[in-house]
Amino acid sequence: MFEHDDDALNRMIDRLREPVEMDPRLDTRVMARVAAPGFGARAALVWEWLRRPRAVAISPIAGLGLAAAAAVLIWVLPTHTSQPPSLPATDITPVQFVVVAPGAESVSLVGDFNDWDARLTPMRAERDGRLWTVTIPLPAGRHRYAFLVNGARWLADPSAPRAPDDFGTPSSVVTVGG
Amino acid sequence: MTIVHRVATLALAAALFLTGVARAQDPRLVHRLDSSTTAAVGELLDSARTAGLPVEPLVQRALEGAAKHAEPDRIVAAVRRLAGELGVARAALGRESSPAELDAGASALRAGVRPEDLTLLRQRRTQSLTVALAALTDLVVGGVPPDSAASAVLALAARARDDQIADFRRAVERDIALGATPAAAAAVRVDATLHEATNAAANPNTPRKP
């Protein structure tokens, strides 16, 4: 039994003494892993790169170009002031405006609902051109307006309350709601 | 820092500053008013914005002046006056007032209604005041003395709905057109409207007038 054990032991020793064949690229791979930084180390490197002051050469014309590009970007961003607030559909009421202007070639409805722009709400002639009408949706509230006849003569609405006048021409008010 | 850097930095700062100035000005005004009027109105808008007042009524007043080819000084004066009225209206109606209420309140003040009456109206009416203030203004503009008009609307404030107050205003105007004195028309119609409002509150299932 002991002889058997000695033989087995000697075979194991011989086997262990045999040289082990290893992948020739093992050293390279191990060293690459050791040299590679972790996430924290990479972040530190990036932060260091960002913080390090450096001289950047830029021509005056390129500087102006960058400034112009920045100005254009800021200019095209949407602003709150130019966007009217959206209103629920239930707050919008169609309102008909009527004025008698015989002989007029054009009549426009102009008011704070169309930024006082005479081009935006032309009225339509009816009954041989004496009666001019238009119907527009208006939000709830109090609106100032006037009629502009032939692009030159301002008329208040005779069927509506007068608005206080600041500019020497008549205006009217309509209250929507109630 | 080299001279090149300084030039580039100054150019960028100047562009950003000019862009900021242009952004602060409403583009609707820029296109309709000359530059000096736009700047003067823009300062008033900035002040109003800082004070928490609505600026849209001020923009519209300037646009009205531009549409009517008013003199620049007159446009600026009109915007300044309206800004002041909005401020008084806000003081009378409270800081929680909506822009529409402040606009209507400013119109009431311009017509001759006292700020104290605006405050009383706020205290008595829980709903929005826009229609009530508009009716009050229209009554005064139509010839009803401010005290009588305020008394009538204040009497209706607690019970009447907006449509009842608007009907009241139309009835008074109709009576005036038919020859009644404004004060008498308001006094008579307020009793009828108050009676109707009281009945409507007692019988909520009663259908409204079309």
Pair (B84, B119) in one structural domain? no
In-domain check, residue B7: yes
Give the pTM.
0.69
> How much of chain B, in percent, has pLDDT values that exceed 90?
79
Has the ipTM of the complex gone over 0.90?
A: no
Interface test with A, best of B59, B64, B140 (most A CBs within 10 A): B64
Q: What is the pLDDT of residue A81?
A: 40
**Could you give the CA distance from residue B179 to residue B194 in angstroms, rounded to a whole number?**
23
B90 and B31 in a common domain: yes
pLDDT of residue A115: 97
Within a domain: residue B104?
no
Interface check for A144 against chain B (CB to CB < 8 A): the answer is yes
- Domain end residue (candidates: B61, B96, B131): B96
Inter-chain CB proximity B67 and A110 less than 8 Å? yes
Q: Which residues of B touch A56 (CB under 8 A)?
A: 5
Per-residue confidence (pLDDT) for residue B160, from 0 to 100: 94
Last residue of a domain, one of B37, B64, B96: B96
Query: Is the pLDDT confidence value at A25 over 70?
Result: yes
Is residue B162's pLDDT more than 50? Answer: yes
Per-residue CA distances from B59 to A108, B1, B186 (Å): 21, 45, 35
Give the closest of A67, A116, A162 to B67, CB-based.
A116
Confirm whether A113 is domain-assigned: yes
| Nearest chain A Cα distance for residue B156, angstroms | 14
Task: Please give the residue range of the domain that contains residue A128.
Answer: 89-176
B26 lies in a domain? yes
Residues B63 and B135 in one domain: no
pLDDT tens-digit readout, B1-35: 555 556 555 555 555 444 454 445 789 999 999 99
- Domain of residue B28: give its range: 1-96
Asked if residue A14 belongs to a domain, the reply is: no
B206 and B122 in one domain? yes
Confidence class for position B198, pLDDT limits 50, 70, 90? confident
Is-contact A146 A170, C-beta < 8 A? yes
Check CB contact under 8 Å for B19 and A115: no
Of B8, B65, B142, the CB nearest to A63: B8
Domain-embedded: residue A170: yes
pLDDT at A82 (0 to 100) = 38
Residues A46-89: pLDDT tens digits? 777 777 776 667 677 776 777 777 666 655 554 434 334 444 44
B191-200 contacts at long range (C-beta below 8 A, 24 or more positions apart): B193/B156, B193/B160, B193/B164, B193/B165, B193/B167, B193/B168, B194/B155, B194/B156, B194/B159, B194/B160, B196/B164, B197/B156, B197/B159, B197/B160, B197/B161, B197/B164, B198/B159, B200/B161, B200/B164
Interface contacts (A, B; CB < 8 Å) = 135
pLDDT for the residue B19: 47
pLDDT at B55 over 70: yes
Hey, which residues 139-198 in chain B have their CB within 8 Å of chain A? 141-142, 161-163, 165-166, 173
Residue B110: inside a domain: no
Is A60 an interface residue toward B (CB < 8 Å)?
A: yes
Co-location of B124 and B200 in the same domain? yes
The reported pLDDT for the residue numbered A30 is 60
d(CA B135, CA B192): 16
- Do residues B144 and B184 both lie within one domain? yes
Mean pLDDT (whole number) for B181-197: 91
Q: How far is A25 from chain B, CA to nearest CA, in Å?
A: 51
What's the rounded mean pLDDT across residues B147-160? Answer: 95
Do residues B90 and B124 share a domain? no
Please state, rounded to an integer, the average pLDDT across all residues of chain A.
Answer: 79
pLDDT at A10 (0 to 100): 80
Cβ of residue B42 closer than 8 Å to a chain A Cβ: no
Q: Is B104 on the interface with A (CB under 8 A)?
A: yes
What is the pLDDT, as a whole number, of residue A51? 72
Query: How many angstroms separate the CA of residue A30 from the nearest CA in chain B?
Result: 46
Question: Chain A: residue nearest B61 by CA?
Answer: A112
Of the listed ranges A3-7, A8-12, B108-112, the one predicted with least confidence: A3-7
Does the distance separating the beta carbons of A82 and B68 come in below 8 Å? no
Amino acid identity, residue B98? S
Residue A121 lies in a domain: yes
Residues B167, B153: contact at Cβ < 8 Å? no
d(CA B129, CA A177): 11
Provide, rounded to the nearest whole percent, the portion of chain B with pLDDT above 70: 85
What domain count does chain A have?
1
Instruction: State the pLDDT at residue B16.
Output: 47
Which one of B63, B96, B129 terminates a domain? B96
Summary mean pLDDT of chain B: 88
CATH number, domain with residue A122: 2.60.40.10
Q: Which of B6, B22, B20, B17 is nearest to A63 (CA)?
A: B6
pLDDT digits (tens, 9 = 90+) for A99-127: 999 999 999 999 999 999 999 999 999 97
Q: Does A16 touch chain B (CB under 8 A)?
A: no
B57 contact residues in A (CB cutoff 8 A): 112
Does A137 or A16 have the greater pLDDT score? A137
Average pLDDT over residues A94-101: 95
Q: Enumerate the residues of chain B whose CB falls inside 8 A of the CB of residue A117.
A: 63, 67
Judge if B149 and B210 occupy the same domain. yes
- State the Cα–Cα distance between residues B19 and B144, nearest whole angstrom: 50
Residue A80 lies inside a defined structural domain of this protein: no
How many independent structural domains does chain B possess?
2
